[in-house]
């Protein structure tokens, strides 16, 4: 299988910077900057800031300037043209809930390393044909969770996953223990109540706990 190469930090390196990639959606760019700073203070080096709100692109731009060791990705890419917009805003990688050939081509053209979403064996085969070695399993828990990833390991032994969707602090370690999981995505690091009350210390505490989750060396 050919290794997919685009400009920037390879996805294979990004997913190994920490066991948990927080999945984030912000009401404002200012809120995004504050949350991103709190997460970074807790040891989280990789962020996925989604385009689920209008503040997404500006939040990415601000977060990318917080520290030299922070890696900011754009999440919920659903249209090819979003790849170039996110790259211009400062995103260093992209995450999508699914994958099309058009989206793949747009990511390559924009120089945006992509972590594409898969849910079925057909999705996986498409991703493999396009050269991907690491994919997002989404929505992880509703789509079968740990048993499904265990089942995928047989026919796709070389493929690595970042499961996202429905993962909790209690279940994260179970996912991380699987031989084909390199990290997990989760939203539990930023509880709505903590964000609303601007309790940045609580977010830093949760980030520190997530950063200390163990995973086998692979």
Q: Go through the domains of the chain in sequence order and give each one's CATH number.
A: 11-211 (3.20.20.70)
Catalytically annotated residue among 48, 61, 87, 160: 48
Instruction: Classify burial at 117, counting beta carbons within 10 Å of its beta carbon; exposed 0-12, middle 13-18, buried 19 or more.
Output: buried
Q: What is the pLDDT along the chain (218 residues), one digit of tens a residue?
A: 334 434 468 999 999 999 999 999 999 999 999 999 999 999 999 999 999 999 999 999 999 999 999 999 999 999 999 999 999 999 999 999 999 999 999 999 999 999 999 999 999 999 999 999 999 999 999 999 999 999 999 999 999 999 999 999 999 999 999 999 999 999 999 999 999 999 999 999 999 999 999 877 66
Question: Which residues, in sequence order, are CB contacts of 217 under 8 Å at separation 6+?
Answer: none
User: Is 48 considered catalytic here?
Assistant: yes
pTM attached to this predicted model = 0.94
Catalytically annotated residue among 33, 61, 87, 136: 136
Please check whether residue 119 is in contact with residue 143, taking contact to mean a CB–CB distance below 8 angstroms: yes
Query: How far, in Å, CA of 174 to CA of 190, rounded?
Result: 21
User: Is 136 considered catalytic here?
Assistant: yes
């Amino acid at each position: 299988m050919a290794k997919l190469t685009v400009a920037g930090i390879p996805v294979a390196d990004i997913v190994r910077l920490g066991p948990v990639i927080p999945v984030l959606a912000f009401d404002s760019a200012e809120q995004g900057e504050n949350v991103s700073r709190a997460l970074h203070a807790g040891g989280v080096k990789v962020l996925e800031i989604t385009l689920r709100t209008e503040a997404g692109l500006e939040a990415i731009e601000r977060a990318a300037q917080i520290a030299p060791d922070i890696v900011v990705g754009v999440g919920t890419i659903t249209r090819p043209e979003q790849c170039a917009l996110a790259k211009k805003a400062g995103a260093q990688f992209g995450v999508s809930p699914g994958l099309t050939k058009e989206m793949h081509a747009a990511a390559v053209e924009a120089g945006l390393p992509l972590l594409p979403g898969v849910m079925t064996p057909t999705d996986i085969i498409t991703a493999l044909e396009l050269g991907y070695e690491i994919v997002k399993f989404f929505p992880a828990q509703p789509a079968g969770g740990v048993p499904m990833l265990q089942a995928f390991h047989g026919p796709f032994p070389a493929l690595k996953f970042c499961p996202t969707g429905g993962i909790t602090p209690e279940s994260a370690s179970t996912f991380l223990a699987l031989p084909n999981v390199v990290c997990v995505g989760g939203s539990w690091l930023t509880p709505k109540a903590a964000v609303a009350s601007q309790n940045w210390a609580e977010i830093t505490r949760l980030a520190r706990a997530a950063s200390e989750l163990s995973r086998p060396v692979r």
